[in-house]
Structures are given as structure tokens and as C-alpha cells.
Chains A and B, each alone.
Chain A
Amino acid sequence: MLQIDRWKRILILGICLLGLAYAMPNAFYTRVEAHNDAVARIEATGVTTPELVAARDGWPSWLPSSLVNLGLDLRGGAHLLGEVQVEQVYKARVDALWPELRRALAAERDAVGAVRRVPSPEGTLAIEIGNPDQLARAVEIARGFSTPVTTLTGAGQQSLAIDATGSTLTIQLSDAEKALTDDRTIQQSLEIIRRRVDEVGTREPTIMRQGEDRILIQVPGIGSAGELKALIGTTAQLTFNPVTGSTSDPEAAPGIGQFLAPSLDQEGLYYILEDSPVVTGDDLVDAMPGTDENGMPSVNFRFNPTGARAFGAYTSANIGQPFAIVLDNEVISAPVIRSAITTGSGQISGSMNFEQASQLAILLRAGALPAELEFLEERTVGPELGQDSIDAGKVAASVGFIAVIALMILSYGRLGLFATVALAVNMALLFAVLSVIGATLTLPGIAGIVLTIGMAVDANVLVFERIREELRTARGPARAIELGYEKAMSAIVDANITTLIIAAILFVLGSGPVKGFAVTLTIGIVTSVFTALFVTRLLTVMWFERARPKTIEV
């Protein structure tokens, strides 16, 4: 009859307790947040100050400390949606191709005749040749600049799309190459923006790709979106500087014509560098991850002719001396020059793994934003407004909760009481899941929680009403309870699956706040079904076993 195995009971109670434990930090939000920040700070800097220790010890480290992330609309901060102008990169690539191609065509002047670039849309290169009957030869030469592109859809594609009509040759990047270029452009932009935003040192900025060519930037705690824009709009500067010395004193006074730059990966190490760089990032053509002669990860880079000359002259005169690769006034690495580098290409190797090597290659390539960002959307929310929303949400949720409890107990008596206990557990589980998965709570998300409070009892109501009906057929209370659960099942399942479908669609199609609503709604559905089917039932069964009532009233 009415039975639940012992191990199932332990499991259900265990989940409830776990939920309570993981939801608890949210009740002490500011204290736990201070604790988390202090722990992260001590780990990152290795420095412990009394304030940090006090903040850290404000919350016992053996307790769960995950918190629900607050969305920008609750915490305050700035939100930007920028579109990367990827076409600018096509244009740059094609424009860079022209001098080289002109040289190659000029070498075959006897065959193809005089060549000149004629006006064409941006991102394309149109070349008119003197001897139209030799167009095929010109195409052949141009094709020499094209390289095979390997994509997921298969090999065999070329990087350049070459079109020949009459006496005109039109060259542009092929679709496959464009797709690859776009991808690279976005990755570089993300990297640059991330570094720039990290400089401000705010908590948990969100910088992510959205759709094809957009970047979403959310920075909590920043004054305004305009401020954030100014930050991202600045170009990153890469330089190669001579090193005159190093120090661990951040206050060290460098000599005239020198400056102090911290090491990127070694905390507390500072280099004294010559002000005038040997070469700058503007002279860098490319950087790729690779391996050095020992098979260790490295980054291979290439200069343009000007850069190559300057770099060659400097390295041959300074063998055995270190030089620094400086990005935004931070030293990425300071290798010792082993031999003169006159080929215009070089290698950075050192203590890095393959991932770091490709990261550095991205950084080097991404010396400056590869393309401009056009801002499509920007939102700023002040912290006070967010706090007002949180406070209003708390009050509304409490009042709603009490009203629902009152209605349930008045309507269903003891079982209603069990249902409200389950509702409380449900809220705890909801917050526990939100905290553990690091979900973001937004203002509509709070509405989702309040809606969950109202709707969560639905499964219970379905069961209780069914038990009432089954009691009328008078087969004893135990059987009625069992049948109640059994027969209400299909309605509960159908009703919740349809709501889940809606939540899934909201999640996929929604953005920002709407997504936050979908997340709380989804988790709320799952936890409310769990609590209605297991927690309320367990409470009912445990009471039933103890009291053994002859009749029950629902």
C-alpha cells in the first residue's frame, strides 16, 4: 500500500537538505560575496591583509559559497552590444594583396600588358589588363596568391575567388575564406575587449560572442555604457622594446627615456625598458602558434619589410641582450636574443604550453582591434534602481508566499500544510540550483520565481483534488492517497511538459532578461514537480504511518 523504501526516503531527504545547504549562502548575500571576493583576491595576488582575512573569515569556508549571479538590471552596470565590422578586414586583406599582385603581373608585362586597378566595391580588387586575350594567364598568376582553405565542410576550396570578364580581373576573398576570417576577427576582438575590460577590474564581466559577428559586453558596477565604450574603443598597442634592467620594486624610478613595465605572468617583476620601441605591432604581419627546434610550444611571428629591417639591425647588434615584447605597457615576455633575426620572422619561446602559445599568438595578432565595433544596443542601470527592484521583489515574493500558504492550509488542512513545507523546499532547491549552475537572476527572473510560487502548488492541488474524489468511492484513506497520486500523474506530466516547451523556446530565442526568466521558469518546473511528487508524498506517508487514521479529510 502506502510505502516508500527506506533508501528512497533517505535520498529525498538528502536532496532536500542539500538544497537547503546550497540555497543558504543567498540568505547572507553580502557576507558571502565579500568572502568569495576575498578568497579570489588572496589567491590571485598572494597578499593577505587584515581586511581580506576578516572578509574571508566572515563565512566559514567549509560551507557552500556559490551565489546566484545578479543580472545587470538588479546589480547595476553597463551593457553593450557591438557589431564587429568584419568587412573592414576583407578590405584590408584585398588591399594588401594589390602591391604584391601588381609586382607579379608586372613581371609578365610582355604577356598581359599594362595593369591598373580600377574602382570596385570595397573588399574587392578589380584589375584591368592591357591584353584581354591573355586574361587566362593573369588569372593563373592571381591564382598563385590563393591558398587552399580547409573548412569543416571539406577541403578543395581556395582562399581567393577570382572572376574574369572582358579585360577585367575581379578578386575577392572566397566565402570559405571570409567565414574563416570572420571567425578570426571575432576571436581577436573578444580577446582584446576582454583584456581591456579586465583592466578596469570589475567583478565578473560578461564578454561573449552573440550570433555571427556580434559581441555582447556586460560589466557590472561600471558607471555608464559611455564609459565602457570609451574603454573598448581605445586601440591596443604592441611594441618591442630594449630592456635595460629588471626590478621587483614597483616604485623604482626609471632613467630618462625609460619606463617601468610589469611582467604579465610573473607577479612582482618589473622591467625597465627603453621608451622608443625597436618595432611596433603595426609592423607585425602575422603571428602563429608553432614549435621551436626542441619541439616546445612557441609563437612564430613575421614582420613586414620595414619591421624586418629594423628588427634585423637591432638583433644583430644586441646578441645576448634581452628585449621585451610589450602589450599595453605589460611585458608579455622578455627573451634573450640568441642570434640576429634578419629574415623578418622570429619566434617567441619560453615556459608556455600549447594553449598559452596560441593565446599569445592571438594576443600578438590582436595588438589592435582588427576591425571597428559599431554599437547597436547599450543599457546602463544604476545600482540603486537594481536594489529597489530586489527589495520590491523580496516583499512581493514574501507576501505572495504567505497568501498561497494561507489558501493551501485553509483548503486542504494537514495536506495543505505538507504542501507548503514542500513549497518552501521548492524555493530552496530553486535557489540552490540557480547558485550551483551560476545562473543569472534578472528582474523578470524574480517574476518567474513569484509565478513559480503560485504555480508550484498546482501539482499538489491536482493530487489533493484527486484524493478527495477517490475518498468518495470509499476504499479507505491509504488507497485513496495512492490512487490520487497515480491518477493525477498524467495530468501533471502533460501540464508541465507543455510549460517546459515554452520555457525552452524562451531560452533559445530570448536574450538577457528574458533568458533569465526562462531559466528560473524551467528550474522552477523541475523542482516543483519533484517536491510535489516526492516531498509532499513523503511527508504524507510519514504522517500516515504514525497516525494511522481511519479516515482522512482533505
Chain B
Amino acid sequence: MAFRLKLVPEHTAIDFFRAQKITFGISTLLAVLSVVVLFMNGLNFGIDFRGGTTIRTESAQPVDVGAYRAALAPLDLGDVAITEVFDPGFRADQNVAQVRISAQDGVEAVTPETILAVEAALQTVDPSITFPSVESVGPKVSAELIQTAIYAVLASLVAISIYIWLRFEWQFAVGAIVSLIHDVLITMGIFALFQIRFDLTTIAALLTIVGYSINDTVVVFDRLRENLMKYKKRALRELMNLSVNETLSRTVMTSGTTLLALIALLVLGGDVIRGFVFAITFGILIGTYSSIYVAKNVVLWLGVKRNWDKNDPETKKKSASPFEGAEEV
């Protein structure tokens, strides 16, 4: 017999509703906490969303944030943030920092003169410094980008709920949307909590999470729909457990391969896209959780319309052995 790695045993009969109250409590708590953190800390918006300029510096000399700051102070640029960037992929003599200058009053983009002045000031501190990237976004564009980002997230939620509603029933659509909002909120909460830079690519990451999470949810829903047709008399809750158990191996497997690929990218993919990859990685974990614990709970509470007969004695009989009766209806 050949060896097979089984991340999930062949037969599982986990009652995913047993810890219903706890998981629901945790989910609600996390979502509420995320909102609180979002309001208290706010998001660390990148220049895409609040305008300004970022300059990436690279030098063979170690980064001296204090000296950089002192050099830039006479330029009177308002809010200047300087952070050193670390990455395992950097060479030994590669010292990278990120200088962020907030949008200047009355100008759309920072003028080339300002950028040259900043570069010259930094060169006095460290003559070997180079500037691999300079990005500048005006307040007009950044305001529009925020709007576009909000539209994108809303549009995807609406489009998906319509699709789920058409393919399944409205209860499923509600369940899917609740779990998606749950995922997006908590991911944003993490960004607010750790003040990870939130920019346009983060929005793309959020939408990817939405896509992945709905993917997972749909697979469970699809099985549930099949089981609802197959076992007309069994309790919804039981069928849900059955469906999740039946698809558990797939859920774990797909999350596993996706996470493997993403963790490789997170560790080795460089610092430029680390925020983006982090958002997706975290989102996939939370998305996998939410499709098991959030989406179908909502559907259970809403109930699904079906030929329901409470007093039918057949119900109990059939439910005794969940893996039998594979005949199609």
C-alpha cells in the first residue's frame, strides 16, 4: 500500500456547531475589536491614499535615521517619516530606508526641485546613498483612489452576493456576505493594529481575500446544496456538519498549497510587496476559518426553505449512517 499523506483523516465527523457560541463570540469580538482599533489607531495610509512622496534610499553605509532627519529638517517639509527597511533578501552592504514626505500645501505633486533638495540633503549625510525609487502622488489623485478603492470593495461584495443568490438562495448570499465582511474587517483591523502600510495594492489584496474566501464558502455551499437534495428529511444542522466534514480534506489541502506558495513569497519575495503578500496570507487563514465557522452559521440561523416535515420518523432512521444512501435524486 502506497504511502499517502493525509492532512485530514478519511472519515471525520466533527461537530462544527458544538463550539458555535464560542466561535461566534470570538468572531464577533474580533470584528468589534477591529472596528475599535480602526477608529482608534486609524490605518497607516500610504501615499496612494493621502498624497505625498516616498523616497527609497539605499546605501552601503548603515542607515542613520537621526542623521537623515536632521539633514531634512532645514528643508521645512512638514511631516517627514523615515523608517529603515529590513529584508532577509538584502545583501550585507545593502541598507535601505524609506523617507515619506506628506503632501505639500497647494501643490499637486512634489516638485522636482523639492525632490532634488531632499536627495542633496541626504547625500551630505551619506555620499554613497542612491535612490532606487521615488514616488509622488498628489492629493487630488489620492482622494480619487480612496473613492475607487471603496467602490471596488463594495462592487465586489454586491456582485458576489448577486451571483450566490442566483446560484443558491438568498440565505446563502447573506451568509457569504457576512463572512466576507468578517474577513475584510479583521484583516483591516490587523493592518490598523500593527500600523502596516495600507495602499492600493492592499485593496487588491483585500479583494483577493474576498475571492478566496468566497471560493471556499462556495465549495461548502455547493456540497450542502447537493446534500439538501440527497437527504430531504435530515436536519439542516446535521447536513451542514456532513457537508463541512466531507469537504474538509479539500479545504485543508487547498489552503495548504496556497499557504505554502504564499509563505514562500512572504519570506523570499522581497520587502516591496511584503505588505501585499502578508494581507493575502492572513486573509486566507481567516477566510478558511470563516467559511467553516461563519458563513454556514448564518445560513443555519436564517434557515433554508425545503420540504420540511418535523414528525417524519424516516428522518431519524436515515441519519444514522451519514455515508450511505449515495443514490442521486
Contacts and interface: CB of A to CB of B under 8 A. Distances in A.
B270 A450 contact: no
Contact of A499 (B112, B211, B222): B211
A404 interface: yes
B326 A505 contact: no
A447 B264 CA distance: 11
A397 B200 CA distance: 23
A490 B140 CA distance: 45
B253 A443 contact: no
Interface string B26-45: 00000000000000000000
Interface residues of B, number: 80
A105 B219 CA distance: 77
A381 B130 CA distance: 12
Most chain B CB neighbours (cut-off 10 Å) among A226, A395, A396: A396
Contact of B136 (A379, A410, A499): A379
Contact of A450 (B201, B212, B262): B262
Contact of B155 (A229, A455, A509, A511): A509
Interface in B210-231: 210-212, 214-215, 218-219, 221-223, 226
A403 interface: yes
Nearest to B109: A375
Nearest to A495: B215
A380 B326 CA distance: 61
Q: How large is the interface on A (under 10, 10 to 19, 20 to 34, 35 or more residues)?
A: 35 or more
B240 interface: no
A224 B132 CA distance: 10
Contacts of B130: 382
A50 B273 CA distance: 42
B194 to A, nearest CB: 20
Interface in A362-398: 374-382, 384-385, 388-389, 392-393, 395-397
Interface of A: 73, 81, 83, 224-226, 229-230, 374-382, 384-385, 388-389, 392-393, 395-397, 399-401, 403-404, 407-408, 410-413, 443-444, 446-447, 450-451, 453-455, 457-458, 461-462, 465, 468-469, 472-473, 487, 490-491, 494-499, 501-503, 505-506, 509-511, 513-514, 517-518, 521, 553
Contacts of A410: 3-5
Interface string B136-167: 11101100000011011001100110011001
Q: Which 10 A-B pairs have CB atoms at the shortest separation, nearest pair first? A: A454-B258, A226-B112, A454-B261, A400-B261, A392-B270, A502-B211, A410-B5, A385-B132, A382-B132, A400-B264
B163 A498 contact: yes
Given A447-B277, A454-B261, A505-B159, A377 B133 contact: no
Contact of B273 (A226, A229, A443): A443
Nearest to B270: A392
A395 B272 contact: no
B7 A396 contact: no
A465 B253 contact: yes
A382 B58 CA distance: 11
A502 B218 contact: no
Given A407-B256, A461-B253, 8 more contacts: A230-B112, A410-B4, A447-B277, A454-B261, A499-B215, A505-B207, A509-B152, A513-B204
B201 A514 contact: yes
A454 B112 CA distance: 42
B151 A509 contact: yes
Contacts of A397: 264-265
B134 interface: yes
Nearest to B176: A498
A151 B219 CA distance: 50
A374 B141 CA distance: 12
Contact of A506 (B207, B247, B273): B207
A428 to B, nearest CB: 17
Contact of B253 (A81, A384, A411, A553): A411
B2 A505 contact: no
Given A498-B218, A517-B204, A226 B115 contact: yes
Contacts of B210: 502
Contacts of A487: 226
A293 to B, nearest CB: 50
Contact of A411 (B6, B131, B221): B6
